[in-house]
Chains A and B, each alone.
Chain A
């Protein structure tokens, strides 16, 4: 029997009787990372990396029923050996390695191959079956080295300052925001939305070092914000609050910004193709490094990417899951104006 099955509740390991990133409530959930489409509320018990726990605490108030595991350490669940390896996607993100009677399956969750300076660097894991995401599974997506992207963001901010504009960066609150805070030049104070501040606090309590930021509150004057850098989650991208700032200039940080149509569709002043997902060469390199005999392609360009893998001699099939792309999900929802 196969070690994993795709069921209507999620990816299920029958031998071990647990689910990986289930989208419906189950008894035992193994979580790859803290994004809402992978870590859902309502499971009886959770197993995740030690740095994903603070996210579950912060977002869902889960304390008692969350067990943690460090990277590269093996445990045994009903005879299935389970270990976690860094996925490089966001802080605490892990690939789940399962081994049973000599058969090895790795579930990647979301991953990126470039080291971002803050999430533990991606580590390829040899396996028989590799479950891979394919969010940016088209050859048009080839990221620039992140230092070049941060240089252009830094230049954009400096230019905004020279023109008396307020720099507003739009970044997903878990992952992208911390990556920006860590990598931007420390020339200006950074003001963050409360959802970002809450996660920063949770990470800091768990021992992650982050530069100091200020949570945005109504007492901070608009001209102070203008002299700093403002970071908000995608749901606030077109909000009235941003329009109320002094000459706001909005910069969206997302892999979708690599394509002009992506930049134009969003009413932003700048787009930076900074992604927490693997690009096309990244996906191919990662898959080849696993030496997997079979690749199961989930969320993203599943049909295209699996067809291509088959053509280059890697057996692959597309599987339906309910995972999405956190950037697209949150930004299209246009949640009612979030309170500060």
Chain B
């Protein structure tokens, strides 16, 4: 596992993509062959079922250190990561054991079905044989949740270079269905498993945000305009009588969306659709927060099906009658897509994402302003002749999002950050006015410069009113403009509404606390369709 620990350290130590790719290439050239598929699986989010609950792991760590639970919790607040906290607080290892990564993973998998005592014995023995960095990795292996700042694209580029294969092919291969314990690195890079697998999706074609005025793109007639929907980008694959739904996170989510299963009977074999999974009622798109009720659930109950019905807005056609059509021009693919969707007998669930008719850029800009009324985030511009690229590429596709909402709020709580920021109040909670009261509407972490953080920090130190664990209530005095992407009703929040992607737009030193927005101002922004 030392070689893997070294890789993790190298990936964390550099903030440059080229260094990270170089570290990955070196790893895939030097590491134990049997480890490599596990690393690829981990980095692409293919998680094994966790053998032990977090509660147990935490409890055993606390027992072992003899620390009071509150102190462990404070430590966790400061570190911000449970695996790392445990690695740091445990007593030093009494001896060291070096096992290859795949062996550790294999041993953890064998814990399924063992008694709690046996599990505990294994974990404690392992902790006692690992240095801090390896212990951290071991803990991450238990949770299977390895977020290390390696994007799929970065990983694919590294593997492609290392194995001297085309990036597209590698992307296909690692996105398909495979298990790290029954595939070799060679088979994986050669894509040996993907041809026989009906499920494989294509890499998604992604767009950059437009960085110029649309006028500079040329003639409107060369550009297809569509609504940009705020849901889960997905691909629907129908081959040999089987149906697969992939999310852009490269997870198979077929079982989560039974509403779409009719496509198994109605789509012709050898069809792959690109589109957006959305909450849809009577052909209208509902808010993202409605869709959220349906995400990451193992089981779905009747009320969820009724409150948040799913639909699929189709954007593109990637495979027609078993042939990859991604290099055909968009105009042609769109035509075929329309034919396929029109032939469906079940209507209003798999829907053509409408093409917006417009004569001039000016007209399109005006149409774009109405996006929020239909729960859209703005407009997508796609060149009529564009192919369906693998990944993000400049030039053919652009997203032209609407400007975010903003609201003036006052800071009422502050909490210290983690790790290096543990000495500074960096996490803030903001409120708007509701009659005489202040009501919390958002928490935000980012958006201030280091200098501003320091200023806010000294304000909090001087103006803290109450302590609740790590949280300080502060005098409501500092006004911040919060930007956000969407707003919806919410029963879980005290304000009765929830903001999507709130962040600090700027510190309004020019405003006083009595000049902030009210809850009614915010309510007025909630679209009628939610």
Please report A residues at the B interface, Cβ cutoff 8 Å: 138-142, 256-271, 301, 303-304, 307-308, 311, 325, 328, 332-334
Contact = CB atoms under 8 A, between A and B. Distances in A.
A139 B71 contact: yes
Nearest to A258: B88
Contacts of A270: 13
B420 interface: yes
A235 to B, nearest CB: 12
B15 A140 contact: no
Contacts of A142: 88, 92
A152 B75 CA distance: 26
A74 B453 CA distance: 44
Given A139-B65, A260-B419, A311-B68, A269 B13 contact: yes
A332 B71 contact: no
Interface string B72-90: 1011001111001100110
Nearest to B148: A260
Prevailing SS type, chain B contact patch: helix
13 contacts: A138-B78, A140-B79, A140-B88, A260-B81, A261-B420, A263-B419, A263-B420, A265-B421, A266-B420, A267-B15, A332-B454, A333-B454, A334-B450
Nearest first, the 10 closest Cβ-Cβ pairs linking A and B are A261-B419, A262-B420, A259-B419, A140-B88, A262-B419, A256-B420, A265-B420, A261-B418, A139-B89, A140-B75
A142 B19 CA distance: 29
A265 B248 CA distance: 28
A256 B419 contact: yes
B79 to A, nearest CB: 5
Contacts of B29: none
B14 interface: yes
Which of B65, B418, B423 counts the most A-chain CB atoms under 10 A from its CB? B423
A325 B88 CA distance: 22
B13 A304 contact: no
B91 to A, nearest CB: 9
B465 interface: no
Contacts of A311: 68
B424 A332 contact: yes
Nearest to B76: A140
Given A140-B88, A270-B13, A308-B71, A261 B80 contact: yes
B12 A263 contact: yes
Nearest to A144: B132
Nearest to B81: A260
Given A140-B79, A265-B421, 13 more contacts: A138-B74, A139-B72, A139-B88, A259-B78, A263-B13, A263-B419, A264-B12, A264-B419, A304-B71, A308-B71, A328-B424, A334-B450, A334-B451
A257 B88 CA distance: 13
B11 to A, nearest CB: 11
Interface size range of chain B in the complex: 35 or more
A139 B420 contact: no
Nearest to A135: B423
Contacts of A271: 13
B453 A332 contact: yes
Contacts of B419: 256, 259-265
A140 B423 contact: no
Interface of B: 12-15, 19, 65, 67-68, 70-72, 74-75, 78-81, 84-85, 88-89, 92, 417-424, 450-451, 453-454, 467
Which of A259, A271, A303, A311 counts the most B-chain CB atoms under 10 A from its CB? A259
Contact of B15 (A141, A259, A269, A334): A269
B89 A140 contact: yes
A321 to B, nearest CB: 12
A264 B92 CA distance: 24
B451 A140 contact: no
A269 B14 CA distance: 5
A259 B67 contact: no
Nearest to B91: A142
B67 A139 contact: yes
A97 B343 CA distance: 90
Nearest to B451: A334
Given A264-B12, A270-B13, A333-B454, A138 B420 contact: no
B71 A259 contact: no
A259 B84 contact: yes
A271 B14 CA distance: 10
Contacts of B67: 139
Contacts of A141: 88
B71 A325 contact: no
Contacts of A308: 68, 71
Contacts of B81: 260-261
B450 A140 contact: no
A316 B127 CA distance: 33
A52 to B, nearest CB: 25
Contacts of B19: 269
A270 B423 CA distance: 21
A257 B65 CA distance: 22
Nearest to A252: B420
Contacts of B78: 138, 140, 259
Contacts of A303: 467
Which of A140, A267, A304, A311 counts the most B-chain CB atoms under 10 A from its CB? A140
Nearest to B16: A269
A286 B221 CA distance: 77
A267 B421 CA distance: 14
A304 B88 contact: no
B13 A138 contact: no
Contacts of A325: 423
A176 B28 CA distance: 38
A328 B423 contact: yes
Contact of B84 (A260, A269, A334): A260
A5 B280 CA distance: 68
